[in-house]
Structure 1
Amino acid sequence: MNNKLNAISTFLCVAKAGSFSAAARQSGMKQSAVSQQIAALEQELGVVLLHRTTRSMKLTEQGERYSRDMQLVLDAMREAEMRLDPVDQQFQGRVHVQLPSGLGQIFLPHLLSLQRLHPELHLMLSLDDRIADLVTEGVDVAIRLSSEPPLAHAARVLARVETALFAAPEFQAVHSVSELATLPHVRFSGIPLDAPLRLLSQEETLDVKVNTVFRANTSDALLQALESGIGIGGMQLPLAARALKNGTLVPILPAWRLPDRFLYAVFPDARFIPQRVRRVVSVIEQLLPEIMKKN
C-alpha cells in the first residue's frame, strides 16, 4: 500500500512539474527511480499515464483523469489526518481564490487580516473579471457574479447583488428611460456591443438600445469612467457605495435597476472541498451582510 501511495505521489509530482527530471529534483530522487515508479504504476493499472519522448512528456487522457482523481484522494487523506490533531489546523495550507476585481478590492483588507492571524495559511488571490478554468489554473474556489449558477462546476449562492444606474454629478439630468437611448453609456466589455440595456421597475421590464462610448473589462476602470463624467452606466451597489458617499457619483433613474445578479462560491469539484477552503469561503460569507449594505 505504501509503495503504491509513493508511486501515486511521484506521478502527481511528475504531472505537476512537467518532466521526470524536474520531478526528480523536487523530490530528491534519482530520475531513474522516478521513471521506475511510474512504469510500475502503469503496469499495475494496465494503462499508459504518460506519453514520453526523448524531449518531452505529456499526460494521456487517462493520465489527466487519474491525476485529478488521485489529487482529490491524497487531499482527502491529508484532511483526515489533520482532523486527528487536536490543534486547530483549519487555516493551514494553500488556498487559491479567484475574485471579481471590484469586490476583490473590498474583500482584500479582510483577507490580509486573515493571513496575518493564520501564518500557516497561504492565500493566493487572483483579482480577475474573466472566467478562469478552475482545474487547469489550480483555483480552489472562485467567487463569481452571475445571473445564474455555472453549469460545469459545483456552486453555492452567497448573496444577491443589486445593480443600478449611475453618473457623475455634473452629467446632465435624466428624467425618463426614453432619454437613455440618446446619451453616452459606459458598459462592461464582456457584454456584446449591440446588446440592449435591460431595466426593471416594480411594474415592468424594458430593453433599451444605448449608445456605448466606453467599454472596459474591470469594475475599477468602469467606475473611473463614470466618475470622469463621460457617460451613464450600471454598477453593483457595493462598488458604487464609496463614490456615492464621496459625491463623485449620483443615482440615475432610481426607480429603475438592472437585473439582480448573484454572488456564487464556485468549486472545481464537489466531491472533496478541503476544510481550509470552506473556512476561507465562510470568512467571505460573514463579511457580505456589511459589504452588501446600500451605503
Structure 2
Amino acid sequence: MSTNDCKTVRPHLSAYYDGELSAGQAATVAQHVESCDSCAAELRVFESLGSAFVQAPIPAKPADLWQRIERELPTAPEPVTLSRQFSVWVRESPYGAGLVPMAASILLLLGFGLWYGGGQDGMKNNAGGMAMHSHDGEEGMSAEHMVEFAGVMDDYLQKLPSDPDGAEQMLLAKYDGEKVDADGAVKLVGYRPIVSGGLPEGYSLASTSVLKMPCCTCVKAVCKRSDGSTLVLFEHDDEETAWFGDRRQSMAMCGDKDCCLVDLDSSIAATWKQGSRSVTAVGVRDQDEVTKLVTWLDKS
C-alpha cells in the first residue's frame, strides 16, 4: 500500500489495539498492518505498553494527595488543568517517580483514573472541608446577610411603633423565635437574660424570646413603659452596629458606657457592651433614657 494509506491508518492504531473500531475499519487496518512493516512495528509498541501497564505495580495514592495538589497550585493567574497539575505531581512526587518511563499520555490517563476513580469521596470531602473552613473563618455576618438583615430590621422598625405585636410575630417567624422564661433562655443560649434581674421603675417585662438571627442566637426582651409604649432590648454576642443599614449614627457616653446611637427617625437605637455581651435597645426616646437603662442594668 502507498504512504497515504499509512497516514490514514496510523491515527487509528491505538483504537484498533483497544478494540474500539467498527468491524469494517478493523478489517481495513488489519489488512494494512499485514503488509506494512512500519505500521506493524508501531502496533507492537502499543502491545508492549499495554503489557507494561498490566505488569506495572499500581502506586498507592497518598492520603495527603489533595493537600499536595493544593500546595502546588500556582499563585499567578495562570489556567491550571487537571492533566497539568497531575503531571507536576507525577514528576516531583516520590510516589509518581516510578511511572515516569511510561508514555506521557498513558501516564495522565492512569493518573486521572487512580485519582478520580478512587478519590471521588475524597474530592467531595475536601470540598466540604474547604467550605467548612471558610464558613468557620468568617467573623460576623457576610455582606449579603448584612444587607438582608438590615432590610428585615428596617421593616421591623417601621412596624414597631404602631403594631408592636405584629413586629414581634414578624421577627419570631423570620428567625425561628421561641418565647422562653429565664430558665428556658439559659438552656438555649447558656446565660440568663439581663432583664431577669428586673427593670427600672416605669418599665415592665412583656415577653422574652430567643431568636436565631444571622449574627448570632440572641435574647430579645419586649418591655412596656407605663404609658403602654414599647421598648425592645436585644442581648447578643456580636458587636455589630450595622443592624440598621446606613442610618446616621454617633458615639456618646451614656452613664459609664460608650454607646453607639443610631437615628431611627422618631426614636433611636443604642448599642453598648454589657459584660461579655452586647445590648441593643430599640425604640429608645433619647440619650437620657439610654443612660437610665445602662445605669440600671449595670447594677442588676
TM-score, reference length from structure 2: 0.26
TM-score, reference length from structure 1: 0.26
Structure number with larger C-alpha Rg: 2
Q: Which has the higher contact order (CA 8 A, sep 6+)?
A: 1
Higher helix proportion, which one? 2
